[in-house]
Amino acid sequence: MEETIAQDSTPIFQRIKDYLVGEIASGRWKEGDLVPSEQALVRQFGVSRMTVNRAVRELTAEQILVRRQGSGTYVAPQKYQATLVEIRNIADEIRARGRAHRSHLCLLRAEIATDALAAEFELAPGVTLYHSVIVHFENEAPIQVEDRWVNPDCAPSYLDQDFGSITPNEHLMAAAPLQGATYAIEAQPAPAEIAPLLGIAAGRPCLVLHRRTTSGGRVASVATMWHPGHLARFTGSV
């Protein structure tokens, strides 16, 4: 049976996790800071070493903390941020953080759209769309799988681009200037085809951004962007 604080049904290991995460979120502990030892947490919370170990072990698995043999437990590298209200190039966002961006092109071709996808583009069933799948890396860590469909009438040269040197966002901003965009964000388990691209196990939580952009009165692009749940957070202001 899990240890609990009196008059609180929350398991104590979760209370310890919440405390550790709260210290990081508040900024009191920053990336690379040493966190209290398990023995110190045992004394602070008055619980068993096993309970403290579970809290620290789970936060390590979630990549919020990182353990270094013989040294201690530290705050892991911070999650990257993606802006929502302003559509920005992911390469620029990564470089603005002082880190290196690269991408890997997995797929680039013309395909017949499903009826549902054609409807999202407000086009007739059976229409041909351009389809790309690209993995974006930050300091060699995969942080986003960009699965994008593009209206050929808006970006006729999309298939001719070198997406190792530019991103789809850069090309589309030039070829189909942004008129508007709609978003949906949800948590989903990583499907079998996405998980290996992100370097995670199938079923692990992901943050998924589905974004539809318009240009010149037409739907120009529909993109689904998968992010490892332990590395991503979305920010924005209005």
CA neighbours closer than 13 Å in the CB half-sphere of residue 83: 13
Contact status, residue 89 vs residue 187, Cβ threshold 8 Å: no
State whether residue 91 is helix, strand or coil: helix
State whether residue 49 is helix, strand or coil: helix
With tokens 């390590």, the residue in question is 60
- pLDDT tens per residue across span 139-181: 888 999 999 999 999 999 999 999 999 999 999 989 998 888 8
- pLDDT tens per residue across span 103-134: 999 999 999 999 999 999 999 999 999 999 99
How far apart are alpha carbons 232 and 208 in whole angstroms? 10
Going from the N-terminus, what domains does the chain have, and what CATH number goes with each?
12-75 (1.10.10.10), 80-235 (3.40.1410.10)
Percent of the residues in the chain that have a pLDDT greater than 70, as a whole number: 88
Residue 237 scores a pLDDT above 70: no
pTM more than 0.85:
no
